[in-house]
C-alpha cells in the first residue's frame, strides 16, 4: 500500500514518514502543495495524508483539483487546532477524514487503515483468504494460526493482493503500489516475491492469469 504524505513541517514530515514505513507502507513524501498536486495527478496512491496549510499551493486547492480531475483515492486532511471551518471546507472539498494537530501517530495510522480497507470494501482490519490471515494493525500474517515471517516486500505484495482479493492485479499495478516514485522499479521482481509467497503460504492461493497478472483466489 502506497501513501502520499504532504506536510511542510520538516520534523513532522520525517517522523510520519518513518512511522508509515515502519507500519509497512511505501511512502512518497513532499513538502509543498504544487509537488503534491502533480504527484497525485500522475502517480497512484492507496491513500493521501494532506496538511492544509502548505506553501506554493494550499491543501484545499490541491484536493479540489484532484477531485475535479476524477482522482478518487482516500484523503485524510491535517487541520490546525480550533479551526472547525477548515474541517468543513476540507470535507466538502472531498476529504474522507481529518485529524486535528497535534495528534498521536497511532491515531493517524488507525484512521489510514480504516480509509484503505473501506476503499477496497473491507469492514475488518483482519483480512482473510481461507487459512491465511493478514492483520493490517500489526502487519502480521498467519497460516492456519501459525505466524509466517515475511520480508517487507513480500508483505507489501500480499497486502495489496488481499485488499483486492479475487480481482486480477497486473504486475505494473503491483509495482506501482509497492515502490515509491524515486525507486528503481523492476516489475520482474514481482514474480520473485510471488514465488516466495507461494513457497511460504502454499501454491493454490495466488493464481497467475496469463498475460494479465495475478489473482488472489479466496476459497469459497
Ligand atoms: Ca503546514
Q: Give the pLDDT confidence of 22-49 residue by residue, as tens digits.
A: 999 999 999 999 999 999 999 999 999 9
Q: Which residues contact 33 (CB under 8 A, 6 or more apart)?
A: 6, 54, 55, 56, 57, 58, 59, 61, 62
Q: What is the dihedral of CA 5, 8, 12, 17, to 10 degrees?
A: 30
In the chain, list all ranges with CATH 3.40.50.2300.
2-119
* pLDDT, position 95: 98
In the chain, list all ranges with CATH 1.10.10.10.
126-216
CA 78 to chain CA centroid, nearest Å: 17
Average pLDDT, the chain: 95
Arithmetic mean of pLDDT, 168-178:
93
CA–centroid distance, residue 52 to ligand 1 (Å): 6
Residue 219 DSSP class: P
CA–centroid distance, residue 139 to ligand 1 (Å): 30
Angle CA(187)–CA(189)–CA(192) in degrees, nearest 5?
135
Q: Tell me the CATH number of domain 2-119, given options 3.40.309.10, 3.40.50.2300, 3.40.50.10860, 3.40.50.970.
A: 3.40.50.2300
CA–centroid distance, residue 199 to ligand 1 (Å): 46
CA 16 to chain CA centroid, nearest Å: 14
Cell numbers representing residue 197 in the block: 509467497
Q: How far apart are CA 202 and CA 65, in angstroms?
A: 44
pLDDT for 188 beyond 90: no
To the question of pTM greater than 0.85 for the whole model, the response is: yes
**Percent of the chain at pLDDT exceeding 70:** 100
CA–centroid distance, residue 73 to ligand 1 (Å): 21
pLDDT for 94 beyond 80: yes
CA–centroid distance, residue 81 to ligand 1 (Å): 12
CA–centroid distance, residue 195 to ligand 1 (Å): 43
pLDDT for 182 beyond 90: no
Residue 208 DSSP class: E
pLDDT for 219 beyond 90: no
Matching residue, cell 491543501:
59
Q: How far apart are CA 116 and CA 198, in angstroms?
A: 25
CATH number corresponding to 126-216: 1.10.10.10
54: enclosing H helix or E strand: none
183 versus 163: which is more confidently predicted? 163
pLDDT for 73 beyond 80: yes
pLDDT for 83 beyond 90: no
Q: How far apart are CA 196 and CA 150, in angstroms?
A: 9
Span 95-153, pLDDT tens digits: 999 999 999 999 999 999 999 999 999 999 999 999 999 999 999 999 999 999 999 99
Amino acid at each position: 500500500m502506497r501513501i502520499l504524505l504532504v506536510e511542510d513541517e520538516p520534523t513532522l514530515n520525517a517522523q510520519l514518514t518513518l512511522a508509515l514505513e515502519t507500519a509497512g507502507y511505501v511512502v512518497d513524501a513532499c513538502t509543498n502543495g504544487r509537488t503534491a498536486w502533480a504527484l497525485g495527478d500522475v502517480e497512484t496512491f492507496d491513500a493521501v495524508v494532506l496538511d492544509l496549510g502548505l506553501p506554493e499551493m494550499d491543501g484545499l486547492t490541491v484536493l479540489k483539483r484532484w477531485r475535479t480531475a476524477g482522482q478518487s483515492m482516500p484523503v485524510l486532511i491535517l487541520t490546525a487546532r480550533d479551526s472547525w471551518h477548515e474541517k468543513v471546507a476540507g470535507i466538502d472539498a472531498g476529504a474522507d477524514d481529518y485529524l486535528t494537530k497535534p495528534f498521536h501517530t497511532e491515531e493517524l495510522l488507525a484512521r489510514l487503515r480504516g480509509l484503505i480497507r473501506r476503499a477496497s470494501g473491507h469492514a475488518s482490519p483482519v483480512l482473510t483468504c481461507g487459512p491465511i490471515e493478514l492483520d493490517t494493525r500489526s502487519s502480521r500474517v498467519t497460516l492456519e494460526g501459525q505466524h509466517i515471517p515475511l520480508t517487507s516486500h513480500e508483505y507489501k505484495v500480499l497486502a495489496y493482493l488481499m485488499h483486492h482479493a479475487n480481482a486480477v492485479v497486473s504486475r505494473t499495478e503491483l509495482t506501482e503500489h509497492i515502490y515509491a516514485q524515486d525507486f528503481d522499479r523492476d516489475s520482474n521482481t514481482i514474480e520473485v516475491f510471488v514465488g516466495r509467497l507461494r513457497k511460504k503460504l502454499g501454491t493454490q492461493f495466488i493464481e497467475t492469469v496469463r498475460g494479465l497478472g495475478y489473482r488472489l483466489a479466496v476459497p469459497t
